Amino acid sequence: DIILLSSLFKEIKKCFPKADVDFLTSTTFSQVCSNNPHINRILALDRKNGSRELNRIIDEVRQSKYDLVLDAHQSLRSRLLLIKSFGILKRQKPNIERINKRSLKRNLLLATKINLFKSAISQRQAYCKLIEKYCGDIKIDFSTELFPTEEDSNKIAQYMAKLALKQKKVVAIGP
């Protein structure tokens, strides 16, 4: 999911070139985006530290005074964070856009093979839909990007050489 989100970061910067883009993610995944030039700051949530850590992040979010918040996860944790950070009825809260996970349709399709999707969109497109209405006529590019460190690139090259994949094309497929 973090890699699929990379198109969203790029498109935010395209639509809002002067915007500061902060990204909240688990410490487990924060390294994947640490080199991304479209992200100004990563807020890394260490889930092992429970509510104390969540409260620390909530304080950081409150102090940042965001204009726009994109919830690309729609989890119970992200909903709780948004409510605790901005309240339910506060007049001064930022615009908040939440991803449509299409959960009911997806679960029906998986459980019963009943397909209620009129047209399918990729996860990258679903993420980018969060900012579509703010971008006007700007064409959205859904391509993903990775920005590995030099150390990471060297590790990958060594691993591929070990597997004799150096001169071959490789496709990685994630669940």
Q: What are phi and psi of 101, to 5 degrees?
A: -80, -5
DSSP type of residue 157? H
Token pair 């102090």 in the structure block, residue: 63
pLDDT at 172: 72
Phi-psi region of 78 (alpha: psi -120 to 50; beta: other; left: phi over 0): alpha
Residue pLDDT, tens place only, 26-42: 999 999 999 999 999 99
Interatomic CA distance for residues 5 and 8, integer angstroms: 5
DSSP type of residue 119? S
pLDDT at 104: 84
Residue pLDDT, tens place only, 74-114: 888 888 889 889 887 666 678 888 888 778 888 898 899 98
Phi-psi region of 64 (alpha: psi -120 to 50; beta: other; left: phi over 0): alpha
pLDDT at 175: 57
